[in-house]
A and B are shown apart, each in its own frame.
Chain A
Amino acid sequence: MIFDLEKIKGYSVLFIREERIDAHNSNDLKETILHLIEQGESHIIIQLEQVRFIDSSGLGALLSGYKNAAAKSGKLVITNMQRQVLSMFELTRLNRVFEIYVDLTEVFDDET
């Protein structure tokens, strides 16, 4: 899993630099998020701008991150989803679980 991690306005922002999240790399994503949470990061943004495909294991990895963050009273939100990727969240109704934002600015504006 190729990604960049930046600290922006108190959030750990994980920029996913892959076109696909599938069963080949989703476990890496899950472990990466888990590692962040274990290090004490409680506010995490997953930025999916470059991701054009996600499968059920990718959705599962994000759900795992969401649940782990929530268990530590933190939050994990998602931004910059492409239309077809968002449609997977709608199909599985995970759009009702996650906080989904258009972009990073919208997350930060929501805080104020």
Chain B
Amino acid sequence: MCDSIIQVEVIIPTQTKYLDLIGSIGEHIAKKLDEFSGDREALAYHLNLVLTEATVNAIKHANHNNPKDTVKIAIYIQENELNIKVHDHGQGFDLESVPLPDLDHPKEGGMGLFLIRTLMDSVTYTRHGDCNILEIIKYLH
């Protein structure tokens, strides 16, 4: 296996007490990226945030009828591409129909996906068999 590949997979129960764990994995990974020449502290925060928001989103859309439901988070880095996939087992939703927040008239909710889209380069949400995958890509320069 090539040295430049990092692959992490974590499966958690659908509970918010695990957000800290998921976020801190992102933060640690950012600090290990030897090739990254940008603001490492900012990247660490952004990965922490994006993983936290994406996991909250998956928990929110999880199958709440099943107390044993889980969320799987997979982080994959190869060369200059960081890829995050968050799997949930809920009904899913239409990513394109999620409105942009009105920043001139801020509301309490609806900022999570906006933050992910703003900080990352590509976001998709697709159905695969019995689960949905939120796929997030960030190009590291």
Tell me the A residues contacting B by CB distance below 8 Å. Answer: 20, 22-24, 53, 55-57, 59-61, 63-64, 83-84, 87-88, 91-94, 97
Contact = CB atoms under 8 A, between A and B. Distances in A.
Which DSSP category, helix, strand, loop or mixed, fits chain A's interface?
Answer: helix
Contacts of B34: none
B106 A97 contact: yes
Interface string B94-135: 000000010110111101101100110000000000000000
B16 interface: yes
A83 B41 CA distance: 10
A83 B19 CA distance: 21
Nearest to A84: B45
B25 to A, nearest CB: 13
B16 A91 contact: no
B88 interface: no
Which DSSP category, helix, strand, loop or mixed, fits chain B's interface?
Answer: helix
A63 B19 contact: no
Interface of B: 16-17, 19-20, 23, 41-42, 45, 48-49, 52-53, 56, 59, 101, 103-104, 106-109, 111-112, 114-115, 118-119
Nearest to A67: B108
Given A22-B23, A53-B45, A60-B111, A94 B106 contact: yes
Given A23-B52, A23-B59, A53-B45, 14 more contacts: A20-B19, A22-B16, A22-B23, A23-B16, A23-B19, A53-B23, A55-B115, A56-B114, A59-B111, A60-B111, A61-B108, A84-B42, A92-B101, A94-B106
Contacts of A94: 106
Nearest to A20: B20
A56 B111 contact: yes
26 contacts: A20-B20, A20-B23, A22-B19, A22-B23, A22-B52, A22-B56, A23-B19, A24-B16, A24-B19, A53-B48, A55-B19, A55-B115, A56-B53, A56-B112, A57-B109, A57-B112, A59-B111, A63-B107, A63-B108, A87-B42, A88-B49, A91-B119, A92-B111, A92-B115, A93-B104, A97-B106
Given A87-B42, A87-B45, A23 B106 contact: no
Contacts of B52: 22-23, 53, 55
| Max count, chain A CB within 10 A of own CB: residue among B103, B106, B114 | B106
Given A56-B115, A57-B56, A92-B103, A22 B20 contact: yes
